Amino acid sequence: MQDADDVRRICLSLPDTEEKTAWSMPTFRVAGKMFATLPEEETSMAVRCPKAERDELVLAEPGKFWVADHEAGSAWVRVRLAALEDADELRDILADSWRQAAPPRLLESHPELGVVVNG
Query: What's the CA gap between 95 and 92, in Å, rounded?
Result: 5
Work out the pLDDT band at 62, boundaries 50, 70, 90.
Answer: very high
Measured N-to-C along each axis, helices 87-101 and 4-13 cross at an angle, to the nearest 10 degrees, of 50
DSSP assignment, residue 43? T
Q: What does the pLDDT average to over 13-37? A: 96
pLDDT of 46 > 50? The answer is yes
* pTM for this predicted structure: 0.91
Query: How high is the mean pLDDT of the chain?
Result: 92
d(CA 64, CA 29): 23
Q: Check residue 115 and give its pLDDT.
A: 56
Average pLDDT (91-115) is 89
Cα separations (Å) of 70 from 11, 67, 74, 78, 106? 24, 8, 8, 11, 30
Report the C-alpha gap between 75 and 63 in whole angstroms.
Answer: 19
